[in-house]
Amino acid sequence: MNTLIQTLKYFATITAELVVLFILISAIVDLILQYIPEEKIQKRLSGKGIIGNIIGAGFGALTPFCACSTIPMTVGFLNAKVPFGSAMSFLIASPLLNPIIIGMLAALVNPKAALIYFIVAFVCSVIFGVILEKAGGEKFLKNLRPKTTCCCESGGSIGISLIQKPKRFKDRLLSALKSGWNSLRPILIYLLIGVALGAAIYGYMPQDFVVKIAGPDNPFAIPVAAVIGIPLYIRAETAIPIGIALMGKGMSIGTVIALVIGGAGMAIPEMSMLAGIFKPKLVGALVATIFLTAVISGYLFNLFF
């Protein structure tokens, strides 16, 4: 009975924290985007050299979109003659530097973990964007018309206010809060599933089992977790609560990070959308990029923690 009470308490506490966190972060991001003119974003992305890649990764970090919005935006940038490398940095960074992921890590792990994650994912997004451009990845574009198949229900509702912006700050704030709630509703079930599984792990999973399979002493746990994340397509909102519970049972933080990056960045639905606009070699290069980012991040986290 004590274990059941502790499990239910864990579920209620984490759910409340994540719901408030999700809405607030989404609203803050939406409010920021309302003050950034789209023309300025496109102009900045067109910067020469690595500056364009940095701007692309930075804008990707401010856009908590699913692939349904990230990929069409990438296509829009390419059609607008934004440098290929800048567009690729945006494409890589957008799912990995989702502000929701950063906020969850800061709140549920600690700010240091969130900062290290941000720096590693940001640097990888910039570097791999440069590499893809230098390697001639632009010649592997085949059709700049993304498929309409959607991999998530929200459709990237954050950012819609860029089209029609309220004039008064109060109205913009209310619009941002509404946008945050609208973004939460479609993924709320995933969040609840993640917290429920995390609570069950927290309350009932044997610690020795987790340590043996995915503890810090298993050097292969990180690449395996990165690969497992692909077919599972575990949303960050689902994976992080599960990962936090597993960490409490002995799983290394690097393994959790690799699982999150693999699931968020290499999801099969997103890859199928990319296959509609990129040739197989470029899709394969992006998969390899995300995999390397997941593995590098995982080992660095285990090194720092």
- Could you give the 3-state DSSP secondary structure of residue 219? coil
- Residue in the block written with tokens 């519970």: 245
What gap in Å lies between CA 188 and CA 168, rounded to an integer? 30
What gap in Å lies between CA 222 and CA 264, rounded to an integer? 15
Please say whether the beta carbons of 8 and 200 come within 8 A: no
What gap in Å lies between CA 220 and CA 230, rounded to an integer? 17
Q: Count CB-CB contacts under 10 A for residue 179.
A: 23
Residues 6 or more apart in contact with residue 234 via CB below 8 angstroms: 194, 242, 259, 260, 263, 264
- What residues does each domain of the chain span? 2-304
Tens place of pLDDT for every residue, the chain, 305 residues? 567 787 888 788 878 877 887 788 778 777 776 776 666 666 666 666 788 899 889 888 877 555 556 777 788 788 878 889 998 999 888 888 878 788 878 877 788 888 988 999 999 999 999 999 999 888 888 766 655 445 454 444 334 344 456 677 788 888 888 877 877 776 677 678 777 876 787 666 665 666 666 666 777 888 888 887 665 555 666 667 777 777 777 778 888 888 878 877 766 667 777 887 888 898 888 888 888 888 998 898 888 87
What gap in Å lies between CA 239 and CA 267, rounded to an integer? 13
